[in-house]
Amino acid sequence: MRALLTLLILGMTAWPAHADNDLASFETKNRQLKAEYELAGKPRLYVVFDLAKQQIHFKSSGVAVATLDADEMRLWGRPTVGQSLSIAKAETLNPPEREKIIPSGKDEPQRERPKPAPKTAGELPKFEIKALELNDMPQNYDLVLSDGLRIVVRTVPEGEQGEFKAIAEKAYWYLSRPLITQRHYLQKKTYNEIFIRLPPKEARMIYWSFADDTPCLIQLL
């Protein structure tokens, strides 16, 4: 009888905590749905980072036009949920550069130019501009969102040495993030990060798709 009473008491004390967790999950899910509903009503592309399914969705009007499966997604901190965010800056060692067009006669280096081919009457001069393509995009980079959340994108390592490198990198990640968080705390700031590991093509696709004003959402549930 005493054991039964003990179990009943434990169950009664545990129930409110379980109920609170369910309520918090429901509120989080509700905020996520409201935020996406607002974006879906606008005729433009937006990106959803789905941590529960470890996927990145490119959506328009609420319909997924492309979905990328991440090999790994890790979360540190408490990111903003239920709010549309945008890219504040992108950080990479080798950012892609668009070809600059210099008007004729302005700051142009003095060098011998080849004679232009004869043109027929009414023919316009032709300009060849190299457009940035998917292969020009970086594979490893950081995206900093408008709320300060850092999204770290890294490619999948290849071979046995690559697997060892991934394990060492993961261990370093878990050891270093508390130190980074503490440093930000002393500066009265918060540090939140999402780590995503993708194949090279998918990593380039995310960088290629993002513009400065591309809205994105973080989904935890």
Kindly state the percentage of the chain with pLDDT values over 90: 50
> With bands split at pLDDT 50, 70 and 90, how would you rate the model's confidence at 97?
low
- Domain ranges for the chain, please list them: 19-95+133-219
Question: Comparing 3-17, 34-48, 89-103, 172-186, which segment has the lowest mean pLDDT?
Answer: 3-17
Q: What is the pLDDT of residues 17-44, one digit of tens each?
A: 455 677 778 888 899 999 999 999 988 8
Residue 204 CB neighbour total at 10 angstroms: 22
What local confidence, expressed as pLDDT, does residue 129 receive?
A: 43
pLDDT at 47: 94
pLDDT band, very low/low/confident/very high, at 147 (cuts 50, 70, 90): very high
Give counts: helices (H), strands (E), the chain: 3, 9
Is residue 188's pLDDT more than 50? yes
pTM of the model: 0.74
Share of the chain above pLDDT 70, in %: 74
- Asked if pLDDT for residue 122 goes beyond 80, the answer is no
Per CATH, domain 19-95+133-219 is 3.40.640.10? no
CA-CA-CA-CA torsion sign (40, 218, 93, 72): negative
CA distances from 207 to 121, 136, 213 (A): 44, 10, 13
In terms of Cβ atoms closer than 10 Å to its own Cβ (0-12, 13-18, 19+), residue 199 is middle
Judged by average pLDDT, the poorest of 75-79, 133-137, 153-157 is 133-137
Residue 118 pLDDT > 70: no
Mean pLDDT to the nearest integer, 54-72? 94
Structure tokens at 196: 């995503």
**For residue 83, what are its two tokens?**
């709010």
Q: Which residue has the tokens 């600059």?
A: 100
